[in-house]
Amino acid sequence: MAEKTTITIIKCDVGSLAGHHVVPSPLKNIAEKSMQNAEKKGLINSHFVFNAGDDLELLMVHQKGENNPEIHKLAWDTFTAAANKATELKLYGAGQDILKSAFSGNVKGMGPGVAEMEIEERKSEPIVVFAADKTEPGAFNYPLFKMFADPFNTAGLVIDPSMTGGFKFEVFDVFENTKVVMKTPEEMYELIALIGTPGRYVVSHVWRAEDDLICASTSTTKLALIAGKYVGKDDPVCITRGQHGLPSIGELLSPFMHSYFVEGWMRGSHWGPLMPVGLKDSRCLVFDGPPRMVAIGFQVCDGKIATDDEGKPLIADMFDDPSFDLARREAQEYSAVLRRMGEFEPARLGPESMEYTTLPKVLEKLKNRLKPAE
């Protein structure tokens, strides 16, 4: 059997230019050099460095499998070097997501977010990787449901016989640290009942039901280790596989034709409309947002990303297209509606899911003035 190929995306907020809005070029350059060296050494076969707002994203294609200590160490060392540079430049939030000082074999639980997918390459293997800033992994619940379970989004569910068997969703409960696999279309209503609460129930994997072919993987890794305790939002990443018996690339992108609401805007404490953007607009500005998502398309070919004539990976910047203008426009309008409400819910998240809150302090201050109500 042919060697399997692994797609790994590991992200980390190592510091930003002018607040929390973008990863500047000196940090990306460090990442690029580190990835090039790893390629020369044969550790990875291909890479692509980009940013989702203030998160530095390392996309690596290799043949070492998921959770490989060498691959995770490479990411960790790259982020540490970039964070040192950020400290040197006094960038804002330098080393923000480097939560531990010593590496112990896997970046999970150490601050960075990870999504991985080990695959047996099909005859042709189209992939889309999504990365977002100012939101959380549950932000993928709604689009993943639409891609793999909603026949109004994915025509293939109705007219491609290899998809009519449905899909299996693995749902992770952040509070209880449990997971459950649910099958659509049979359990569609129960699935929505859970994942409609994206702050608690997060889709972590999706498989095609008839043959358990893996087709989506998200970054619930950090959440898994901190389950039961709220420690804030983790800007998420997601890998999806498309075509030939899976949703087409166009069906994977269709959920983003419209904006939808996600948790995590400004101070991790507000609802915000998701804005799909091209890489050039991958920076969070108004009220530190609105929450943005980029999408990177490529073909996996013999353990690598398919390349151009110069050997550079062929990367498609999927949201850099006028067909997402409507969603961007909606995101601007919805932003204005929410911001008009200031700190009144539902613009602000409920107290249980806010990343920052002064509520206990306010209550403490009022303690002596609180009287039993009649």
The binding site for ligand F6R (CB under 6 A) comprises 19-20, 54, 93, 134, 266-268, 288
Considering the rule CB under 5 A, would residue 150 count as an interface residue with Mg ion? no
* Complex with ligand F6R: residue 18 or 314, whichever CB lies closer: 18
Torsion of CA 190, 196, 201, 206, to 10 degrees: 70
Please report how close the Cβ of residue 328 comes to Mg ion at its closest, in angstroms: 19
Instruction: Tell me which residue has tokens 């990976």.
Output: 313
Considering the rule CB under 5 A, would residue 13 count as an interface residue with Mg ion? yes
Residues with active-site annotation: 13, 230, 233
- State the binding partner of 266 from ligand F6R, Mg ion, none, CB within 5 to 8 A by kind: ligand F6R
Angle at alpha carbon of residue 31, lines to 25 and 32, rounded to 5° = 85
Tokens of 200: 């608690």
- Given candidates 116, 133, 170, 251, which one binds Mg ion under the rule CB under 5 A? 133
Considering the rule CB under 5 A, would residue 187 count as an interface residue with Mg ion? no
Closest-by-Cβ residue to Mg ion is 20
Q: Which of residues 20-59 bind Mg ion (CB under 5 A)?
A: 20, 54-55
Tokens of 137: 């992994």
Q: CA-CA distance, 136 to 142, in Å (whole number)?
A: 12
β 167-173/125-133 pair status: unpaired
Please report how close the Cβ of residue 164 comes to ligand F6R at its closest, in angstroms: 42
- State the binding partner of 251 from Mg ion, ligand F6R, none, CB within 5 to 8 A by kind: none
Considering the rule CB under 5 A, would residue 235 count as an interface residue with Mg ion? yes
CA proximity to 275, closest of 247, 295, 249, 298: 295
- State the binding partner of 55 from Mg ion, ligand F6R, none, CB within 5 to 8 A by kind: Mg ion
CA proximity to 107, closest of 129, 84, 80, 126: 80
* Complex with Mg ion: residue 17 or 252, whichever CB lies closer: 17
Tokens of 176: 């209880």
- State the binding partner of 165 from ligand F6R, Mg ion, none, CB within 5 to 8 A by kind: none
Q: CA-CA distance, 148 to 207, in Å (whole number)?
A: 9
Cross-strand partners of 270: 265, 348
- State the binding partner of 151 from ligand F6R, Mg ion, none, CB within 5 to 8 A by kind: none
Q: CA-CA distance, 44 to 61, in Å (whole number)?
A: 6
Q: Which of residues 284-343 bind Mg ion (CB under 5 A)?
A: none
Residues contributing to the site for Mg ion (CB under 5 A): 13, 20, 54-55, 93, 96, 133, 235
